[in-house]
């Protein structure tokens, strides 16, 4: 359903990327009012914003005073998104300053507010900026984590504005949940999600793996970010674009997944094990490509069992941490999953019935969620992001 969106743009070089975000919003049918700061207009001029949005552009509370824009724009909005949000903008928003039209709009808005920061790494990591972010998140503002990559000039690090397509994906989820109360119900929570399928090398050419695409795990990470969480996503052999506002750690094997997960789980409020680790790995790695025998017979491969990462987490997790396991089954899905729920000491387990043309690689999913408290919830087939939101609807109330 079309919405009224305010797109705030503050004064950083990443302002040019907001043009693409504006295009995505308007082409989706939303009415978008762009509110740039004076500094932003040094990077992208007002005629560009007006032409792309079809709406008037102003930066001052003194423009069209009879319409009381410093109050009216925020009051009428269904969503306010600021991209890029500079360190200066974050500081003003955190302290309630209102010295221009954008900061005044942030004070008057009673709709969801989404901020996409972009700045140099040193500015992002400064204690003042981190304190401002914590203050904003504590109020229910959704503050995305910046991406890591090329910054202004030759600098590289954390502070890059996420790609417009991924910011738009978060915007879409926030608007989808616009009537939810509260929208940012994961604000301030630390969420760890694993996704994808591990690969166990047989030789320099081949590996033992599975068909997991990582789409459900990525959907869980993206929707958690849209609900205000700090999200770390551990991705095993996934080729999808990084979700906006999410810290991505890439791994290959089950042991790499295990190590990264155990390291990141320490301060997490909830760990969601959506990845598909290989249950087995070759007992020996061949340094040269394994050749067929002269008589055409296949070589014999010895396998050993990989560690059960979810069970290890269940043994060591603190009482205040929630563990959500996944079970991909081809037969007696619920029965097998109940046994796994107990064995892994998980709080919830999400059951997928998998097979040829089922779940793996598809954009839709249907799951059954079993709880350690004996509960059973069916989530009907839907887009994987809708399934992810349904899972967070079950998880969020269980967080202490």
pLDDT over 90, % of the chain: 76
**Alpha helix segments (H runs only) across the chain:** 15-27, 46-53, 69-76, 87-95, 101-108, 121-125, 127-138, 164-176, 215-226, 254-264, 309-316, 333-343, 384-395
Task: State the DSSP H helix or E strand holding residue 144, giving kind and residue range, or none if neither.
Answer: none
Torsion of CA 202, 204, 211, 225, to 10 degrees: 120
Within-domain flag for 185: no
For residue 220, pLDDT over 50 is answered with yes
Dist CA 247 CA 234 (whole Å): 8
For residues 70 and 104, the answer to whether their CB atoms sit within 8 Å is yes
**Residue 367 buriedness (CB in 10 A; 0-12 / 13-18 / 19+):** buried
- Cα–Cα distance, 394 to 400 (Å, whole number): 13
Whole-Å CA distances, 128 to 48, 88, 92: 33, 11, 12
pLDDT band at 207 (very low <50, low <70, confident <90, very high): very high
372 in the same domain as 319: yes
What is the distance between the alpha carbons of residues 393 and 5, in angstroms, rounded to a whole number?
A: 25
Mean per-residue pLDDT over the chain, rounded: 91
The yes-or-no verdict on residue 1 having pLDDT over 60 is: yes
How many independent structural domains does the chain possess?
A: 2
- Same domain, yes or no, for 87 and 212? no
Q: Please tell me the distance from the alpha carbon of residue 70 to that of residue 62, in angstroms, as a whole number.
A: 9
Q: Do residues 58 and 168 both lie within one domain?
A: yes
54: region left, alpha or beta (phi > 0 left; psi from -120 to 50 alpha): left
Structure-token pair, residue 95: 């302290």
pLDDT at 13: 92
Classify residue 33: in a domain, yes or no.
yes
Answer whether the bond into residue 38 is a cis peptide, omega within 30°: no
* Consecutive H or E run containing 250: strand 246-251
Residues 202 and 315 grouped into a single domain = yes
Give the model's pLDDT for residue 291.
86
Q: Which of 148, 176, 204 is the last residue of a domain?
A: 176
Encoded tokens for 179? 């009537």
Catalytic residue among 210, 237, 306, 365: 210
CATH number at residue 219: 3.40.50.10300
Mark whether 151 and 272 lie in a shared domain: no
The per-residue pLDDT for 211 is 87
- Domain boundary residue among 153, 176, 199? 176
- Angle in degrees, 0-180, between the axes of helices 127-138 and 87-95, rounded to the nearest 10: 50
pLDDT at 68: 47
Could you report the per-residue pLDDT of 293-329, keeping only the tens digit for each?
878 788 888 999 999 999 999 999 998 999 999 998 8
At 297 the pLDDT is: 83
Task: Give CA–CA dist 129/135, Å, rounded.
Answer: 10
For residue 162, the enclosing domain spans: 4-176
For 128-171, write each residue's pLDDT tens digit. Answer: 999 999 999 988 899 999 998 888 777 888 989 999 999 999 99
According to the model, what pLDDT value does residue 332 have?
A: 83
The span from the CA of 177 to the CA of 225, in Å, is 13
Residue 184 lies in a domain: no
Residue 13 falls inside a structural domain: yes
My answer on whether 245 and 160 are in the same domain is no
Q: Model pTM greater than 0.85?
A: yes
Residue 334 has, within 13 A of its CA and on its CB side, a CA count of 10
pLDDT score of 397 more than 80: yes
Flag whether 77 is in a domain: yes
Structure tokens at 24: 């995505």
Residue 183 within any structural domain of the chain: no
pLDDT at 269: 97
- Residue listed under structure tokens 């423009």: 63
Out of 134, 153, 176, a domain closes at: 176
Residues 120 and 257 in one domain: no
In angstroms, the CA 42 to CA 354 distance is 53
210 among known catalytic residues: yes
One domain, residues 200 and 169: no
CATH of the domain at 33: 3.40.50.1950
Q: Are residues 160 and 201 in the same domain?
A: no
Q: Rounded CA gap, 335 and 265, in Å?
A: 28
**φ and ψ at 359, to 5 degrees?**
70, -65
Phi, psi values for residue 112, rounded to 5°: -60, 145
Quick one: pLDDT at residue 181? Answer: 57
Q: Are residues 139 and 223 in the same domain?
A: no
Of 31-45, 215-229, 260-274, 354-368, where does mean pLDDT reach its minimum? 354-368
pLDDT in tens, 68-86: 456 778 888 999 999 999 9
**The predicted structure's pLDDT at residue 296:** 78
Q: Are residues 224 and 93 in the same domain?
A: no
Query: What CA–CA distance (Å, rounded) separates 35 from 46?
Result: 9
Mean pLDDT of 207-230: 93
Give helix 215-226 / helix 164-176 axis angle, nearest 10°. Answer: 70
Closest CA to 322 of 220, 211, 396, 226: 396
**Which pLDDT belongs to residue 176?**
86
Confidence (pLDDT) at 383:
93
Domain contains 386: yes
Give per-residue pLDDT as tens, 355-387. 556 656 688 999 999 999 999 999 999 999 999
If asked whether residues 143 and 230 sit together in one domain, one would say no
Does residue 36 lie within any of the structural domains?
yes
């Amino acid at each position: 359903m079309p919405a009224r969106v305010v797109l705030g743009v503050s004064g950083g070089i990443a302002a040019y990327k907001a043009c693409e975000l504006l295009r995505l919003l308007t082409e989706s049918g939303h009415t978008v009012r762009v509110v740039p700061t004076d500094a932003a207009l040094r990077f992208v001029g007002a005629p560009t914003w007006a032409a792309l949005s079809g709406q008037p552009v102003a930066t001052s509370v003194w423009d069209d005073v009879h319409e009381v824009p410093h109050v009216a724009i925020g009051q009428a909005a269904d969503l306010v998104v600021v991209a890029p949000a500079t360190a200066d903008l974050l500081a003003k928003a955190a302290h309630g300053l209102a010295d221009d039209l954008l900061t005044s709009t942030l004070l008057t808005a009673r709709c969801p507010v989404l901020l996409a920061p972009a700045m140099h790494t040193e500015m992002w990591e400064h204690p003042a900026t981190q304190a401002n972010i914590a203050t904003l998140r504590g109020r229910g503002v959704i503050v995305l984590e910046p991406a890591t990559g090329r910054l202004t000039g030759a600098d590289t690090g954390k502070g890059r504005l996420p790609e417009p397509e991924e910011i738009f994906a978060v915007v879409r989820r926030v608007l989808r949940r616009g009537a939810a109360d509260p929208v940012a119900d994961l604000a301030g929570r630390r969420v760890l999600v694993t996704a994808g399928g591990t690969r166990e090398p047989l030789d320099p050419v081949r590996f033992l793996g599975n068909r997991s695409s990582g789409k459900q795990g990525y959907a869980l990470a993206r929707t958690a970010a849209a609900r205000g969480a700090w999200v770390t996503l551990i991705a095993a052999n996934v080729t999808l674009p990084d979700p906006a506002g999410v810290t991505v750690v890439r791994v290959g094997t089950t042991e790499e997944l295990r190590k990264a997960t155990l390291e990141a789980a320490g301060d997490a409020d909830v760990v969601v094990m959506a990845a598909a680790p290989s249950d087995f790995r070759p007992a020996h790695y061949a340094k040269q490509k394994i050749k067929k025998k002269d008589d055409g017979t296949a070589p014999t491969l010895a396998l050993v069992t990989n560690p059960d990462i979810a069970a290890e987490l269940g043994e060591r997790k603190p009482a205040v941490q929630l563990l959500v396991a996944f079970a991909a089954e081809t037969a007696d899905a619920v029965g097998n999953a109940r046994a796994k729920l107990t064995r892994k000491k998980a709080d919830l387990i999400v059951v997928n019935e998998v097979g040829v043309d089922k779940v793996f690689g598809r954009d839709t999913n249907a799951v059954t969620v079993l709880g350690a408290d004996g509960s059973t919830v069916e989530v009907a087939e839907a887009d994987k992001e809708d399934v992810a939101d349904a899972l967070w609807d079950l998880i969020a109330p269980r967080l202490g």
